[in-house]
Chain A
Amino acid sequence: MQQTQTQMDYFNQRLPFVIIGMIIFSGVLLLQMISFQQLAPEVAAELRPDYDRTISLASARGTIYDHTGQRLAVNTLEYRIGISPNLVSNRARVATQLASILNLDELTVYEAVNSDQSWVLLAPRVNAEIGQQVELLDLSALTIDKIPRRSYPQGTLAAQILGFVSGDLQGYYGVEGKFQDQLAGRPRREVISNIPFDLPPEQEADRGSDIYLTLDRDIQYLIESELALSVAETNAVGGTIIVMNPRTGDILGMTSWPSFDPNAYLDVQNAADWSNPAISAQFEPGSIMKVITVASALDAGIISREWTYTDQGRIEIGGRVVENWDRLAHGVVDTTSVLVNSYNVGAATISLSMGPNTFYTYLSKFGFGRLTGVNLQGEAGGTVFIPGDANWSESNLGTNSFGQGMAVTPLQLITAVSAIANDGLMMQPNIVSKIVTNGQVVPSKPIALGRPISEATAHLVRDMMVAVVRDGLDEDASLPGYTVAGKTGTAEIPTPVSYRSDAWIMSFIGFLPADDPQVIVLIKLDEPRTGRWASQVVAPIFRRLAERLVVLMEIPRDDVRLALETQGGAVDAVQR
């Protein structure tokens, strides 16, 4: 009994230690279990791919519209259809179905479906309608890849302005290239949980900005049609037409020939066809430059409207002889006659009177030799040699005055002359009307590049340009009922050693109504074969174009416009 009592005492004394030990052990176990719930970062990272998957949400490219809201560039989907033959159970039936939908030869499809290969491409590119029909077959053996594609629903219209988007969704040339970042938006990567209890996150892709151009689709179509017709009629090798609002610099239409189809941009013979010659091709402007020379001299006070010189038919400048186009002497000639009759000797005499400093300062003010800053990709700055350049000589002062020995782009030329139409204020050419990003509208505002000449000078030169069309060589450009101001240019084409004697670049620039210009047009034809002078070849084309342009732009005849304005204001058109 005594021994039993002693054992119980021992037991009772040790029992708390055992209990404490068990509690500690349990606690350790519990902590270890909790630690298992919190995975080490490296373990969690290793397991993460099994929990989540990352999807790439390509941003939808923004749409390009003309200024009336007509779609010029949109997004479409194409489908690439492939098949894994070893996963097809009923091969004959599948071949029949696919051949019918894909419009392929049934035997060819059957052979593909029976192929030993693990995967066969059935159709590299089919449209969305066919692709969706294939999707409805719901065959696990089919591989259907959706390929985003840029589509130009107006076909070739404004191709050189729009540019194109390649297979890697990168924009090239024109608006697509210039506004690549805004149009493309930002692609987004989203982590999607594979755990069914996790709700899916928002998977809406970002969208690029929509761009509204200043372009008018109807005017663009008109000038493209007119240019194609003119090139065909005159057997020219190319040409350019630009239509602009001289008040704002907004480009209403711009085209060059030859062009390309942005839906099939790889079909061009020459990659140069992708560029926009209206902003990148440089040419010697010829007699249109006389307008700039006269305007500069008038503004600098070197000459006045009443200024005269004695025309001897030729003048020597820096060792080079300059002659009139008709190689005749005309005696006493005034400022207006220099433009009306397009005398080279008169223009050279004026530039000599100005001197190189004043002359080239004005050329710079008019923007020659530098970019206009138009919001299109691929603009060239032109070439003007100034005193101090290795290629400049004193003869340049004479020849530059009538547009020889220098190179300009069509856009530079129309921008400079638009300053005369716009009371001396030169506006930056602009192709974008507004940019819409997620509903936020950012309109573009007219930007003045400067005021190369005063308002009074601009009006003086404008009146002289009216006389050129009304009384001068360019009367074929006149439009009954409208006062047109304009000037032609017939430029020689330089070669590495001299000038070609068998081909010329002929151009005409004009604006109307002369007293309140609403539109300015530049037409340039490369090597036309139906005449020797632009006044014979291009001036009639301007009249034909202007006849349609005044209808599209609802510009009333001068008498109607002035009569309505005397009644108190602006006018609007009502078609009968």
Chain B
Amino acid sequence: MSEWFEQRFRDTPWRLQRQAIALIALGLFIALVIGALYLAQSASVATLGRQLEELITQRNRLEQTNEQLRSEIAQLRSVPRLLARAQELGFQAADESSIEYLYVNGYNPNREAVQTVAAAPQQTAPVYDETFIGWLQQVWNDFSQQLSGYSSEVP
């Protein structure tokens, strides 16, 4: 009796169907997870790319502003303007008689400039402390944020 029961139970068609469905479901779930991770990663890369574009634009604008400011500084420091400003402030041009030359023991104004070679900065190895679980958590957080962002945009 028991042999008959075991054989009947093992060969039950619905049991085989359940196994197949479980396998398909598992495959679908894994595909879904992989797809979701891929989407999240792609979205974060795209966001990063846009941020980089904006930063590059900002950097270019700042460089242009700096160059403009340097030009203005040079104009403000032109000789005619400095002369006029000095005269306004009561300065007078020095002549030969108003210069006193001093002998400074050991000082040679025409000495060769000695450039000190700066010590090369020590190379430090980058630290890789990210774990797979941590990365997975980060991706999941990004994905959650994007989902919450989409849901919050829904009117």
Contacts and interface: CB of A to CB of B under 8 A. Distances in A.
Contact of A551 (B46, B60, B94, B105): B94
A33 interface: no
Interface string B64-98: 11011011111101111000000000000111101
Interface stretch (A282-290, A534-542, A561-569): A561-569
A200 B52 contact: yes
A196 B46 contact: yes
A576 B98 contact: yes
A70 interface: yes
Interface in A499-521: none
Interface in A211-232: 217-218, 221
Contact of A547 (B42, B45, B95, B104): B95
B78 A551 contact: no
Given A571-B101, A572-B104, A551 B109 contact: no
Given A196-B50, A556-B101, A70 B109 contact: no
Interface string B49-71: 11011001000100011011011
Nearest to A63: B70
A568 B49 contact: no
B101 A71 contact: no
B128 interface: no
Nearest to B68: A128
A575 B67 contact: no
A74 B71 contact: yes
Nearest to A202: B56
A547 B101 contact: no
B19 to A, nearest CB: 23
Contacts of B20: none
B79 A221 contact: yes
Contacts of A153: 71-72, 74-75, 78
A557 B68 CA distance: 43
A310 to B, nearest CB: 44
A151 interface: yes
A155 interface: yes
Contact of B46 (A75, A157, A197, A481): A197
B99 interface: yes
Interface in B101-140: 101-105, 107-110
Contacts of A129: 68
B116 to A, nearest CB: 15
B45 A575 contact: no
Nearest to B59: A204
A77 interface: yes
Given A153-B75, A196-B49, A570-B110, A71 B99 contact: no
Interface residues of A, number: 45
Contacts of B56: 200, 203
A180 to B, nearest CB: 20
Given A77-B64, A221-B79, A70 B74 contact: yes
A497 interface: no
Contact of B101 (A60, A128, A564): A564
Contact of B98 (A198, A221, A547, A575): A575
Contacts of A71: 70-71, 73-74
A557 B96 contact: yes
A42 to B, nearest CB: 29
A205 to B, nearest CB: 9
Nearest to A557: B96
Contacts of B72: 153
B23 interface: no
B78 A155 contact: yes
A557 B100 CA distance: 10
B48 interface: yes
Given A153-B75, A571-B109, A572-B107, A550 B96 contact: yes
A560 interface: yes
B49 A574 contact: no
Contacts of B98: 575-576
B49 A74 contact: no
Nearest to A154: B78
Given A153-B71, A200-B52, A570-B110, A564 B103 contact: yes
B49 A198 contact: yes
A459 B15 CA distance: 118
A446 to B, nearest CB: 14
B79 A576 contact: no
A370 B9 CA distance: 113
A220 B149 CA distance: 65
A199 B99 contact: no
Contact of A199 (B52, B101, B105): B52
Contacts of A146: 64
A153 B94 CA distance: 26
Contacts of A572: 101-102, 104, 107, 109
A507 B25 CA distance: 102
Given A74-B71, A203-B56, A573 B78 contact: no
B104 A197 contact: no
A77 to B, nearest CB: 6
Among B75, B77, B95, B96, the one with the most A-chain Cβ atoms within 10 Å of its Cβ is B96
Among B50, B70, B71, the one with the most A-chain Cβ atoms within 10 Å of its Cβ is B71
A76 interface: yes
A223 B94 CA distance: 17
B149 to A, nearest CB: 16
A199 B46 CA distance: 7
Nearest to B63: A60
A233 interface: no
A560 B80 CA distance: 32
22 contacts: A70-B74, A71-B73, A74-B67, A74-B71, A75-B67, A75-B71, A77-B68, A128-B65, A157-B79, A199-B52, A200-B52, A200-B56, A481-B96, A556-B99, A557-B96, A560-B101, A564-B101, A564-B103, A569-B108, A572-B102, A572-B107, A575-B100
A-B CB proximity, top 6 nearest: A153-B74, A71-B74, A572-B109, A196-B46, A221-B79, A153-B75
Given A561-B101, A571-B102, A576-B94, 4 more contacts: A200-B52, A550-B96, A551-B94, A551-B99
Interface of B: 42, 45-46, 48-50, 52-53, 56, 60, 64-65, 67-68, 70-75, 77-80, 93-96, 98-105, 107-110
